[in-house]
Amino acid sequence: MRVLTGIQASGKLHIGNYFGAMKPMVQLQEDHELFTFIANYHSLTSSKDAQTLRQYTLDAAVDYLSIGIDPNKTTFWVQSHVPQVLELYWILSKFTPMGLLERAHSYKDKVAKGIPASHALFSYPVLMAADILLFDVEKVPVGKDQVQHLEMTRDIAIKFNNEYGELFKLPEAMVNDEVATIPGIDGQKMSKSYGNAIDLFMDEKPLQKRCNKIISSSTPLGEPLEWEGCHIYNLAALFLDEEGKKELQARYKSGKEGYGHFKKYLKELIWEELAEAREKRAYYLEHLDEVQDILAMGAKRAGEIADAKMAKVREAIGLL
């Protein structure tokens, strides 16, 4: 089954991104035909300057490769390296009623957050539809906030298919309800915009400092601690199997250790989990030319599929 997803590159990734998006994606490539791209045309809508967009795009490529995106299994590219998508975006615009876009939540949310209300931001869902429809995709793994964009993609595809023939496959959103919302150091949803994130790739000392900032209750050392509802426990549990969780619960109840011990333990769990990714990341950062080659290989593969599809689309609608 062909599965496609776009990654918004917007800075440092955190533990919430890792468990909520990256790890599930890496697992998908084992038994699906995975297409993944870094959505830098989309990021342009909120980008401040050229250097930052360039840097974020490359950082995302390095980070995803380090976490385990395997370019031999997954077609992995940068959106702007397959610009055929922009031609389809224009064509699909004809099949996009204004009212459809006017109903988009994400546009209103982004404008409310202070992102300038440009045409690009408004027509963002049409580009996303083009991303998906260009590749005859069946499933699109996304967060709940993106489900409306998938509905719009289907609406646009149906309108095209009705008027010009069944050219586009109707994709379905793949929302993983099992992935819990990962809490940040204050217990709220971890998010880079809330200042409560634990970044994925930190040095060991700053990582320990960050873990030390997790808010906990003030039970004195020597008394049993409550693991239920403890943010440190909830974060640590992400890294543990059932047995590991039971052991940690027993340590909380024993009264022999304080929150400081558990913060150290959490740091070790994070550090261990990312050991291999850290090594790969150090390698890729030293060999950015290899990263560029991998992206070029992905763009070539995606570009060939895009060319074949666009030839059919042009023919169907009467472009000479």
Q: Does 75 bind ligand TRP (CB under 6 A)?
A: no
CA angle 141, 142, 146 (to 5 degrees): 145
Token output for 113: 């957050």
Q: Does 8 bind ligand TRP (CB under 6 A)?
A: yes
Min CB(296)–ligand TRP separation in Å: 20
Q: Does 249 bind ligand TRP (CB under 6 A)?
A: no
Q: Does 115 bind ligand ADP (CB under 6 A)?
A: no
Q: Tell me the window of 8-16, 83-91, 120-128, 284-292 that interacts with ligand ADP (CB under 6 A).
A: 8-16
Query: Could you give phi then psi for residue 100, rounded to 5 degrees?
Result: -65, -45
- Residue 71 binding partner per list ligand ADP, ligand TRP, none, with a CB distance cut-off of 5 to 8 Å that depends on partner kind: none
Q: Does 5 bind ligand TRP (CB under 6 A)?
A: yes
Query: Could you give phi then psi for residue 273, rounded to 5 degrees?
Result: -55, -35
| Rounded Cα distance, 160 and 295, in Å | 31
Min CB(146)–ligand ADP separation in Å: 8
Residues 83-142 interacting with ligand TRP (rule: CB under 6 A) = 128, 131-132, 140, 142
Nearest to 128 by CA among 148, 158, 109: 148
Maximum pairwise Cα distance, the chain: 80
Give burial (CB, 10 Å; 0-12/13-18/19+) of 102.
Answer: exposed
Give the residue numbers marked as catalytic: 110, 189, 192
Among 30, 51, 113, 193, binds ligand ADP (CB under 6 A): 193
CB neighbours of residue 250 within 10 Å:
10
Q: DSSP labels for 264-292?
A: HHHHHHHHHHTHHHHHHHHHHHH-HHHHH
| 91 contacts 50 by C-beta, under 8 angstroms | no
Residues 40-69 interacting with ligand TRP (rule: CB under 6 A) = 42
- Residue 5 binding partner per list ligand TRP, ligand ADP, none, with a CB distance cut-off of 5 to 8 Å that depends on partner kind: ligand TRP
Q: Tell me, residue by residue from 119 to 148, as one string, x for binding to ligand ADP by CB under 6 A and - for no binding.
A: ------------------------x-----
Q: Tell me the window of 14-22, 64-72, 199-207, 277-285 that interacts with ligand ADP (CB under 6 A).
A: 14-22
Q: Does 189 bind ligand ADP (CB under 6 A)?
A: yes
